[in-house]
Structure 1
């Protein structure tokens, strides 16, 4: 055998062995613990959804799925960590629409939502609620808008993270309600809620699971919901659209992503197992009572949904002239 033929045969053997090893790794997935990155501090709805998902995937797939909170830069740090991780299925991301909103309003985001991630599964959505401190002299959003336009110095607005659906919704309400007042940005839901409960800020928009217990106890009051129609659990609370901003509708949703170029077999397995997890009684018990609507869908439906949401958020960012340096 000539040297050239010998080298060719050796390369062929190496490539074949590498292909077989990769195939075996895919077939045996997962064979070690899997990290689910939550790019926020513990205590918010993204964190809650991720932990319920992780518990069910651990039970279903026989390996630990461990939630790691990597907060910072309104979700950019943790999200970028996943974008740059190995595409082997052992580093995953649970995120909200903040992932797609940040690049629209923040300069130099270090990832591309479309090219740097594999959309694995849409998990579900929850309504958002406009919640105010009890001292605010308004029983609904329309009254708040009137009071805030008359004396803006008496009120303050907060949000859990720049680029979050809560932040973008609040910016849209500011624009539609003709409010001229700044928004205080916090590092996560827990910090924003603490200041709202303490009366340091007047109002936030947040996912219903985080605010529902405080509304039920009377520590906060619901002024409006962000859905198209009133929600069954709060039939007396009007929608934002009923409160002087026609056509308004936004929910916060949650998805599971992996780094780009995730092997199709691993993606398919994660999609199937995530759907099974979202339909479990654990999700109903832990999330359903708080307004979470499980609606798992795979990449074929999730990818175009992301494209549609990017267009929606881009329109709001453009209309409200939101730009974060």
Structure 2
């Protein structure tokens, strides 16, 4: 008859063996990277690049799963919160992930405490855009035109609470103009109307907007970084365009459900770190107008806390909220 001690020892060895097996086996099937928006947007583009590089680097399968619905990606993000914390369901979202709870009291999750923070992966500035028919070539002159004829100008954003929305609100506040910002369902429709002259100002990531600037369909008044972007060296910073310095980056991170399995967490951290810090990933991100922004899970959580405080100032000042 076995003693209680021997039974406990055997159980401990079995548990340890099981944990090692789980670590060795993960992932044994496809890992789903949930993008809480339709295909074709900037978040989707970054997710597909990451999924492709992770698949190639690890020899495992990582796929993008678009689950659109709800302002700020609430539906897709909620699905991840409810998923098993086994590492097979991840969330990739942009900076709007921390803005949504600031503007919507009905968000059914806590972005700081209901997720496991995996990694920060990328960041990039926005282009502040107008139609080529506008005479102004810098922000100072643009807002002078707005003040002279406020009825002739419409501002827009491709996503309510997005980095582009906050950038436009910050510029409005400094310029002292009070023009509503129209929300579009995605960058495509907004850019189409900007090109067509129905709207006269928006800020958007380079991935979706820079091709239109290079083709002459849009005019870039500024870039929302403290230094000029090597992708658009002729576009001045906000400060060079005649206003106070403004840094508003669109940044991207990866999260998993709360209580993520330690073996999966270790594997994902190592795989994502290897991809994001590689020269190959950096080169491909540059085409998108972004740079790698690798942050560990704890670093990402601290970064989110700092960004939330900064965004809250803009949100409160502009009165941005979901009714």
- TM-score norm. by structure 1 comes to 0.90
Q: Secondary structure at the match of 1:242?
A: coil
Cα distance in structure 1, aligned partners of 2:37 and 2:102: 19
* Structure 2 match to 1:116: 114
Deviates more, 1:189-198 or 1:148-157: 189-198
Deviations 1:65-119 (CA, angstroms, capped at 9, x unpaired):
1111112223111112112211111111111110000100112111101111111
Equivalences, count: 321
Say whether the 8 Å CA contact 2:54–2:271 is kept in structure 1.
yes
Gaps of 5+ in 1: none
- Aligned mate of 2:159, from 156, 161, 174: 161
Deviations 1:101-156 (CA, angstroms, capped at 9, x unpaired):
01001121111011111110110211111011222232121121111122122111
- Aligned mate of 1:51, from 44, 48, 53: 48
**Within-5 A mapping of 1:10-159:** 21=18, 24-73=21-70, 74-159=72-157
Q: Secondary structure at the match of 2:240?
A: helix
Deviations 1:280-316 (CA, angstroms, capped at 9, x unpaired):
4542443213431113121132221111111111121
Is the alpha carbon distance of 1:16 and 1:187 closer, same or farther for their aligned partners in structure 2, counting shifts above 3 Å? farther
Cα distance in structure 2, aligned partners of 1:72 and 1:12: 50
Cα distance in structure 2, aligned partners of 1:191 and 1:68: 22
Say whether the 8 Å CA contact 1:149–1:180 is kept in structure 2.
no
* Structure 2 match to 1:269: 267
* Structure 2 match to 1:202: 200
Cα distance in structure 1, aligned partners of 2:69 and 2:222: 29
The question of 1:287 aligning with 2:285 is answered yes
Structure 1 residue ranges, 4+ long, deviating more than 4 angstroms after superposition: 9-23
Shift of 1:186: 1.6
Q: Secondary structure at the match of 2:161?
A: coil
**Within-5 A mapping of 1:311-322:** 311-322=309-320
Shift of 1:11: 11
Shift of 1:166: 1.1
**Within-5 A mapping of 1:255-266:** 255-266=253-264
- TM-score norm. by structure 2 comes to 0.90
Say whether the 8 Å CA contact 1:40–1:187 is kept in structure 2.
no
Shift of 1:21: 4.4
Cα distance in structure 2, aligned partners of 1:244 and 1:264: 50
Q: Secondary structure at the match of 1:131?
A: strand
Cα distance in structure 2, aligned partners of 1:16 and 1:107: 47
Cα distance in structure 2, aligned partners of 1:153 and 1:65: 49
Say whether the 8 Å CA contact 1:177–1:244 is kept in structure 2.
no
Q: Secondary structure at the match of 1:218?
A: coil
Cα distance in structure 1, aligned partners of 2:158 and 2:167: 12
Shift of 1:203: 1.9
Shift of 1:64: 1.8
Cα distance in structure 2, aligned partners of 1:84 and 1:20: 28
Cα distance in structure 2, aligned partners of 1:14 and 1:177: 68
Say whether the 8 Å CA contact 2:117–2:298 is kept in structure 1.
no
Is the alpha carbon distance of 1:28 and 1:223 closer, same or farther for their aligned partners in structure 2, counting shifts above 3 Å? same
* CA root-mean-square deviation: 2.5
Shift of 1:48: 0.9
Say whether the 8 Å CA contact 2:74–2:107 is kept in structure 1.
yes
Gaps of 5+ in 2: none
